[in-house]
Chains A and B, each alone.
Chain A
């Protein structure tokens, strides 16, 4: 089916209206629709990951194009000037070359293009780029151009677009002035244009996708009525904060000045050599203040809580990393902090328990159920239900009722955004494979999110197989789980045939959870991300590998990603690139390592 590109977006409201399109265009060349890189980045954040983000340039410097690719980030570049083939080859993402078609000579030039796609438009008037005039489609008849590479622009609107599709069957149609009223984009016209092109099949395909708080069929707000007000208030407050430049600036200031971002993307030379396959890079979330990615989210949510007038924070923690991050930020911002933690996890993570106490948090031991993360979430939810008027529940993973999965993902997406820019800077292209461990899935979704639209990048989430996925003791929810509702979201769960949630098992307290974030379930469902499972034993072996070869002692959680990376690398070539998200460092796991690895080491 013909794809739709909405070009020349400048306002968040119009980006939202364009979220059902396949592509969105941002104009960086002189034009009344021109935007800055910063504006484009904010607009891009409004769009689903599946929407291709295209930057439009006319004879720009290569550096300018590369910077926009990195910072927005752009998934495609559209060139309207006299760019050379060499210039096109230097761009690390797919390229559209645009041609103003006046006569048959223009068609010949277009046939020679080496770009991934060619865009045909009527000649411009004041500036180069789209003019909004209809060109003579007849000129293209008989041109030796593959319709799969063809994008048609120029004076299209909801009325004439059907004719363009009918006569040219292009890959994509591009509209800009056709969805404007008095020179400004018009949300209703945008929606109407998309609907005209996609017809009813769009509604079928999207289904619940456009329903707030759902990723495909997964997500929602399955909470007791007492919490609905708080959840709705949070939804509204986050929607507002997300668009507020001051809030974003504040959040990024803390990331930079307090957490120490950006974190390096370290080339792992010895790991690369040892595995004998792809070039291996490590995204160093272990270098964050407090030792893991969790703080990225804790800061964002704590700032939001303050904005909402709430100065009490409740949180759950598994490995203690989220608890420590929360206690840390509560100390910094002078917030009251209660952390629920399973008794079993308290035993496994003594050091983190002491850190939280030292930071002034109250740590409540949960002895119910398996006394691990799931039970800590139950208790945190109960506490929230009881103290909802003045307390914010600072959930630590991409779990729970909407807006938590989206909000946590957004706060963690800094991981993937940095990685994207860094790898483009170092290698001039996107990686072939990215791996991250998945418990609830926050570091993974933060890493994957900015790459979901890049079909060439293989994304692999790594779950905990515990003692093996065929035993009763594992935490491989995506591999072995079934659909159900827990902790506010429709997702996948480890449960028995009567809908009772089962205990998960993993040597890693942070992966020891019987559910998984709804967006991951959706990404698995649509086949975009692969999910694999790694055993306790394999993870422990990888702790040694990374420690000995790179001098980086990873957290047990991150070691799962390393273990799967080794398997993946075995089938890759030396011209390929693999990135592992090292979500945290191993300090908290020293007692376990000392116990389990004494003999091995």
Chain B
């Protein structure tokens, strides 16, 4: 995760790609990770399918349902990642809802993450107040628990959350669920500026980032972007190369 800090210090922007593990079969995951790494993404967020993904919009929910129908589980994804023998040069982040972690056992989860080469974990329904359930185990195995902040995060909580932040801060750009959107408001820009001025670690914008216009608008106020639904959709439609311009719009220093 140190490279994320270095990137920021160099003035470069990060691109974090989200994929749903096992959408189209778990055997596809390796190829997807290799492809994204080759294309130059900064980090990859690997989503674990869940039966009740209340923070996700329809694109990711449907991808999750397809993965569940393939029999994909948290356990299988971590085992698959552990088996990889190709060179992984970028941080891999697991995003999962809390219940599969509780079911798996928080301590065992932290251990398996370490074994699978997972750098960080995002749990969208584990608020800051309840992080004791999982946080201490992850800390023991050296896996970072990523903090989320949103437009509705109150000032006091924002300070507490940012104080505890490691790796990067996931700043949710919309009041809503994940998904492809048309507009980004002034309010989002102001929010990003505030978070970035207070955060000890890089701040990445996520939820609803799908167009180069979104990136142009927020570029100066964030350290990176997280793109989910657009990538999940592109993989599903076998048109992942359509995403290349979006990735390059972020990672190239002087986008054309």
Contacts and interface: CB of A to CB of B under 8 A. Distances in A.
Interface string B62-87: 00000010000111000000000000
A369 interface: yes
Interface stretch (A66-74, A380-388, A547-555): A380-388
A486 B99 contact: yes
Interface in A330-361: none
A485 B102 contact: yes
Query: How many interface residues does chain A have, given as a range?
Result: 35 or more
B52 A385 contact: no
Contact of B100 (A220, A224, A374, A499): A499
Nearest to A389: B175
Given A225-B148, A228-B157, A495 B124 contact: no
B247 interface: no
Contacts of A224: 54-55, 124-125, 127, 148, 150
Interface string A445-486: 000000000000000000000000000000000000011111
Contacts of A232: 154
Interface string B101-134: 1111000000000000000000011111110000
A391 to B, nearest CB: 11
Contacts, number: 110
B153 interface: yes
Contacts of B176: 226, 385-386
A114 interface: no
A498 B175 contact: no
A241 interface: no
B228 to A, nearest CB: 14
Contact of A485 (B74, B99, B128): B99
A483 B102 contact: yes
A485 B125 contact: yes
Contacts of A220: 130
Interface in A201-238: 220-230, 232
A381 B97 CA distance: 15
Contacts of A501: 51-52, 99
B163 to A, nearest CB: 15
Nearest to B104: A499
A500 interface: yes
Interface in B142-169: 148-154, 157
Interface residues of B, number: 37
A9 interface: no
A225 B127 contact: yes
A381 B154 CA distance: 20
Contact of B152 (A229, A485, A486, A487): A229
A102 B39 CA distance: 92
Contacts of A497: 103
Contacts of A388: 152, 175
B204 interface: no
* Most chain A CB inside 10 Å of its own CB: which residue of B51, B57, B73, B128: B51
Interface in A521-547: none
Contact of A222 (B57, B104, B126, B152): B126
A495 B103 contact: yes
B172 interface: yes
B123 to A, nearest CB: 10
Interface of B: 50-52, 54-55, 57, 61, 68, 73-75, 98-104, 124-130, 148-154, 157, 172, 175-177
11 contacts: A221-B129, A224-B124, A226-B151, A381-B54, A386-B176, A387-B175, A389-B175, A484-B103, A487-B54, A498-B103, A498-B104
Given A222-B130, A229-B152, A389-B152, 12 more contacts: A222-B98, A224-B55, A225-B150, A227-B152, A228-B128, A369-B51, A378-B54, A385-B176, A385-B177, A483-B102, A485-B98, A485-B125
